[in-house]
A and B are shown apart, each in its own frame.
Chain A
Amino acid sequence: MPTIIACFKWVVDEAYIRRGSSGELDFSSVDYKISDYDRNAIEEAVRLKETLGGTAIAVTVGIPAASKGVKDALSRGTDQAWFAADDTFGHLDSSQTAATLAEIIRARVGRYDLIVCGEGSGDLYAQQVGPRLAENLGIPCISFVQKAAIEKNMLIADRKIEEGIEVIAAPLPALVTVLPDINSPRIPGVRDTLMAGKKPAVTIRKDELPTVGDALLQTIDLAASRMERDCERFGTDASEISRFVDSLRKKAVIV
């Protein structure tokens, strides 16, 4: 029976990011969540496990507060979790995240059949960790998958490309990155949340891991993107609708 790993990232909920008065990013009122795309990855790992039997394992690298995400991942149906936690793990680049995940999977998880990652993270959306992880582990990678199945020790996946779909077969173990349309992630119930507390979850400290290399990509600036608009309001009665249309005509965007 297969062992299926789902990787996820604990990210800032981008809906709460504000633009500060001097254009800086204001994170003061943000909340955190499992990256939306990674919820699809977790769901797919759990769905395959429920179909085929076996084990679904959640793996993440993040700041210590990501332990909330570990519990969330377990309540979404994974059976166990590995969590590399450190204050510095909030700012790893894709190559460092992939190297750390590869280390956990090799040294702690051991044998596995399939790794499922989201197509990208909800925060930086570099879309690199999945393919880099596959390269680090030396296994086949199929990205942007919208349908996945395991048949006779082969992975069969529909990859979405610009011109349509490629149906691809790969020997296991393999890695897929999944698109949001692959499934609808479940919403954990109270019972799921209670069960999650009883499932095995191992936290790994930074000093228990081999040192990963320096970041290959350096962020030299991160500022709020500018979106300056007139923000003029109109009412709903006939004269206001007419004023609205006049405004559009004045801007010459409609005839």
Chain B
Amino acid sequence: MAGVWIFAENHEQTLELLNIGRQLAAEMGTTVSALLCRGHDRADDYINRGADEVLLLPPLADTQSLDAYIPVICEEAKKADPNIILLCATSRGKDLAARIAARLNAGLCSGCTAFKYDAESKTLIMERLAYGGAAVQKVTCVTRPVMAAIPPKTFEPAAHEEGRRGQVRELPGLASSTLKVIERKMKERQVTDITEARVVISVGRGIDKKEDIDLARQLADILGGEIACTRPISEELHWLPEELCIGLSGVQVKPEFYLGIGVSGQVQHVTGIRNAKVIAAINRDENAPIFKAADFGIVGDLYDVVPKLIAELKK
């Protein structure tokens, strides 16, 4: 037995992992098994999108957390001996991945964003960012299975292909878990998703007070974009919700145009904007690191420059 295993918490993420899992399985000449914790009625769809086998995990009780699956996944992995296990790096997915890796004595590439299979040495080379995004680290796993935790939206969803065949199998029930979920507080409103924004105007510590975020909002409105921020603005000052915080541990954006207002350009933030087409910055400190990461920079006081910029754009 062998194969590429994938596990994600929801439908979209399952499709993303199916896509990369299927590519790797084709290169390695092996099969894809998808572990499902919900959406069991979609098994046939997953088969048509690249799964050769769908393994149905039993549903969780209300008080059980996702880690209740760890024993059953590890048991099954010991029997089936997969070459690779790919998990989606959501909060709970990352926790699950590290703990499964510990139990299987496996290496795990966290935050994995690219793969390269070397057919000659039969090794999977995985890529991730390190040092807050200042470096790219390439890693390999020494033992089997090779494990990777892949951030959501790293890969495109798998395409549908009619007429594929596969098996569906139910995995055994769950033991009781030590963790008990006593309450779930779900977010009431869905905050704007800035990952798809065409223009992003981000504010940093250079702004003096919360009300001044309005300057960024005016620019965003004129340019048809969204506002965002650096970590201190959301996490220390709580001036904007964390869903708008750009960075390695926050949201990563890929707009046509990014403008940083009073953003110093810490490496973690810059990592979150590296896929922007054009980066511009306004900052009064000419030595601010953001200018090294920007195509266009204006060295000046944002309270002087932004109103002028708004006036110019309105012309």
Which residues of A does B touch, CB under 8 Å?
12, 14-15, 17, 19, 25, 93-95, 98, 119-120, 122-128, 130-132, 134-136, 140-144, 156, 159-171, 180-181, 184, 213-225, 227, 229-236, 238, 240-242, 244-245, 247-248, 251-254
Whether A232 lies near B181 (C-beta < 8 A) is no
| Interface residue? B40 (CB, 8 A) | no
Contact flags B21-57 to A (C-beta < 8 A → 1, else 0): 0000000000000000000000000000000000000
Q: List 18 A-B contacts (CB under 8 A).
A: A122-B132, A132-B98, A132-B102, A142-B179, A143-B92, A162-B90, A166-B65, A216-B141, A217-B107, A220-B140, A232-B295, A233-B298, A234-B296, A234-B298, A244-B312, A248-B257, A253-B278, A254-B199
Whether B184 lies near A229 (C-beta < 8 A) is no
A233-B297, A236-B300, A236-B305 known; A128+B90 contact, CB < 8 A: no
Complex Cα–Cα for A159 and B130 (A): 25
In the complex formed, the residue of A with least CB distance to B234 is A181
Of the residues A14, A232, A233, contact of B267 by C-beta under 8 Å: A14
Whether A245 lies near B292 (C-beta < 8 A) is no
A166-B184, A168-B181 known; A95+B312 contact, CB < 8 A: no
- Which of A123, A180, A218, A236 has the largest number of chain B CB atoms within 10 A? A236
Shortest distance from the beta carbon of A52 to any chain B beta carbon, whole Å:
20
A93-B107, A126-B110 known; A231+B95 contact, CB < 8 A: no
Excluding A125-B130, A231-B295, 11 further A-B contacts by CB distance (< 8 Å) are A14-B132, A17-B135, A128-B110, A131-B98, A167-B185, A170-B179, A215-B142, A230-B295, A235-B300, A236-B299, A242-B312
Residues of B within 8 A of A214 (CB): 142
B residues 111-142 touching A (CB-CB < 8 Å) = 111, 125, 129-142
Whether A216 lies near B94 (C-beta < 8 A) is no
Shortest distance from the beta carbon of B189 to any chain A beta carbon, whole Å:
11
A17-B135, A128-B101, A132-B98 known; A218+B179 contact, CB < 8 A: no
In the complex formed, the residue of B with least CB distance to A232 is B296
A95-B102, A141-B95, A248-B278 known; A225+B135 contact, CB < 8 A: yes
| Interface residue? B287 (CB, 8 A) | no
Which residues of B does A touch, CB under 8 Å?
65, 67, 90-92, 94-95, 98-99, 101-103, 105-111, 125, 129-143, 178-187, 199, 223, 231, 235-236, 242, 248-249, 256-257, 266-268, 270-271, 274, 277-280, 291-301, 304-305, 308-309, 312-313
Whether B181 lies near A166 (C-beta < 8 A) is yes
Whether A231 lies near B108 (C-beta < 8 A) is no
Whether A224 lies near B134 (C-beta < 8 A) is yes
Residues of A within 8 A of B235 (CB): 180-181
Whether A253 lies near B304 (C-beta < 8 A) is no
- Total cross-chain contacts (CB, 8 A): 245
| Interface SS, A side | mixed
Of the residues A123, A162, A168, contact of B179 by C-beta under 8 Å: A168
- Which of B92, B135, B293, B297 has the largest number of chain A CB atoms within 10 A? B135
Whether A135 lies near B296 (C-beta < 8 A) is no
A163-B187, A164-B184 known; A132+B257 contact, CB < 8 A: no
Complex Cα–Cα for A184 and B232 (A): 12
Complex Cα–Cα for A121 and B111 (A): 13
Of the residues A167, A222, A229, A236, contact of B135 by C-beta under 8 Å: A222
Complex Cα–Cα for A239 and B299 (A): 14
Whether A254 lies near B91 (C-beta < 8 A) is no
Residues of B within 8 A of A136 (CB): 102
Residues of A within 8 A of B313 (CB): 245, 254
Whether B98 lies near A123 (C-beta < 8 A) is no
Residues of A within 8 A of B185 (CB): 164-165, 167
Whether B278 lies near A123 (C-beta < 8 A) is no
In the complex formed, the residue of B with least CB distance to A233 is B297
Whether B103 lies near A135 (C-beta < 8 A) is yes
Shortest distance from the beta carbon of A236 to any chain B beta carbon, whole Å:
4
Whether A132 lies near B297 (C-beta < 8 A) is no
Whether B296 lies near A134 (C-beta < 8 A) is no
